Chain A
Amino acid sequence: MPNNTPSEVSVTYPRAVVQVGSTARNRRRVRLEEKIVRSFLFLCASLGVLTTFAIVFILISESLGFFEHVSPGQFLTGTVWTPTFANPSFGVLPLVLGTLLTSLIALLLAGPVGLITAVYLSEYASPRVRRAVKPTLEVLAGIPTVVYGYFALTFLTPLLQRLLPGLEGFNALSAGLVMGIMILPTIASLSEDALYAVPNSLRYASLALGATRFQTVWGVVVPAAMSGVSASFLLGVSRAIGETMIVAIAAGQQPNFTFNPLRAVETMTAYIVRITMGDTPHGSVEYRTIFAVGLLLFLMTLALNLISERIRQRYKGARL
């Protein structure tokens, strides 16, 4: 290499990384470094798999300890959940029902609202409206759930109590509604993606046949995007089922076996938080209930996520 090359040149370009005329020793060193770095990076990437195994292992092993005392049949079909009482009963259905009730309310709000928002944004809205609405949804998605819980308890519940005199101070209704606001951005943005994936040729064909814009949107575009839209609903419900703070704060922490949205309920997540915050002795049956409930929760959300992911993969690959 000629010596007259000024060394300052390398300031603006990537540094020369391979030494010219590298010796065999040098090459060995480089190869060793390569190997070490590669293994380290591989370990980093594998940590996720390890985490999954750890979650599954912990939930199952602790649940097995629980099911030594309580039969799975009793657990899954019982309608009374009083693990901390002197004479405990371990029927998980009140918690499951509380979870499903609040999630259903959330979906009833966020489903239609999210879909209409998505349709409006992708088919109607001017760029100016989009610029206003998109950040709003992003901010809503970024608000911590404990803040939503505060909002449900101190604002929405008192407001609804004026309209519905029978509403309890803690109730499934306002927790569910606020949870609907929480999952709205998920549903709206994923549904919008699905609507975007519908090719324009379908819209043109429909319009060319004399259909109005409304007929085109609801008769052609939305049905064509239906699988993506339903995937977004499933993911939203999965979020709602796994959500903890809103329900722990606003839905009350009483495992009532009820379909009445005006009453207090306890969800699976809220129960886990209640027990871990108390001073339940480690290793006792009631301590192990949180892992059995956690396992059930994990399986429910996993199933929803997998179905949702599958549907999305399918419509991603499909060409209309």
Chain B
Amino acid sequence: MIPVVSRSEWRARERRREHLFQIVSALVVLLAITTLVVLLTKILLEGYARLNPQFFTSFPSRRAEQAGILPALVGSAYLLLLTAAIAIPIGVGAAIYLEEFAKHNWFTRLIEINITNLAGVPSVIYGLLGLQVFVRTLAMDRSLLAGACTMALLALPVIITAAREGLRVVPKSLRDGSLALGATQWQTVRHTVLPVAVPSVLTGVILSLSRVVGETAPLLVVGAVVYIGTLPESVFSKFTVLPVQVYNWTTRPQHAFQENAAGGIIVLLALLLTLNAVAIYMRNHFQKRLPI
């Protein structure tokens, strides 16, 4: 259908439409950037004042000014390390199996489809899984270990995908060379593929682990406690983490606690930024020294 208008009129109208869309899309794109800027500004303004040494060295308290994030910070660090200790070997192992060993059969396909679907399961469902399996059935109670196991299951699909991408960096010629020399599959992986792939695998794995630091819902379900007067002493201790502490402070009606929440968020974001920076640094650092 061609509208009956003069050519110049038509051209002018189309040009206006084009301009209009450009303006609209520029505004829309600006919306994303603006939101991010507003969000960060709001948090910095609210929480900046709380970032004093006392905030980092105190336990939670009924008085907002005396409350601090010490157990949450320590808990987050322990949880991250413990989760990494559980999830990295399993995740990288699964990735090695799928990339280097697996035959193309129905079970391999099942594993792959399964990993894709697990990545889409809401995190709160993992909380229910952890509650029933680790907290109740395996009687770990509401401990750091139960939390770490739950988070490891949650992080696995992402870690496996990232590690597989890391392994794909290694060119096939290296594998073929090793196999042609008579090395077995595992010898090839152990001595040829892994030494080359470690940086790229580790970068991906660290990036996926940074998700664990910000995750809240499954830990609330598994039973991270909010009021805690001691630091975790073993993997069986009760624990809290930064996002849970932030959640608790956010939901208090008093404004002073929300300032605490903003302070906690700044620390949380700084932690995430550090993890990402480490991953990116590692990538850039090792990329240069790749032997091929």
Contacts and interface: CB of A to CB of B under 8 A. Distances in A.
Interface of A: 12, 14-15, 17-18, 30-31, 33-34, 37-38, 40-49, 51-52, 54-55, 58-59, 62, 112-113, 116-117, 119-121, 124-125, 129, 132-133, 136-137, 139-140, 142-147, 149-151, 153-155, 181, 184, 212-215, 235, 238, 241-245, 248-249, 269, 272-273, 276-277, 282, 290-291, 294, 297-298, 301-302, 305-306, 309
A235 B121 CA distance: 11
Interface residues of B, number: 90
A71 B223 CA distance: 30
Contacts of B246: 146-147, 150
A146 B243 contact: yes
Given A41-B93, A116-B29, A294-B125, 10 more contacts: A14-B195, A44-B94, A48-B118, A52-B117, A121-B29, A144-B268, A145-B217, A146-B243, A146-B265, A147-B214
B121 A117 contact: no
A276 B187 contact: no
Contacts of B43: 147, 150-151
B29 A58 contact: no
Contacts of A143: 39, 214, 269
A243 B122 contact: yes
B176 interface: no
A41 B32 contact: no
A58 B184 contact: no
Interface of B: 14, 17-18, 21-22, 24-26, 28-29, 31-33, 35-36, 38-39, 42-43, 46, 89-91, 93-94, 96-98, 101-102, 110-111, 114-118, 120-129, 131-133, 136, 153, 156-157, 160, 178, 181-187, 190-192, 195, 210, 213-217, 220-221, 223, 243, 246-247, 250-251, 258, 261-262, 265, 268-269, 272, 276, 291
Contacts, number: 249
B156 A51 contact: yes
A62 B132 contact: yes
Given A48-B118, A49-B110, A245-B247, A142 B14 contact: no
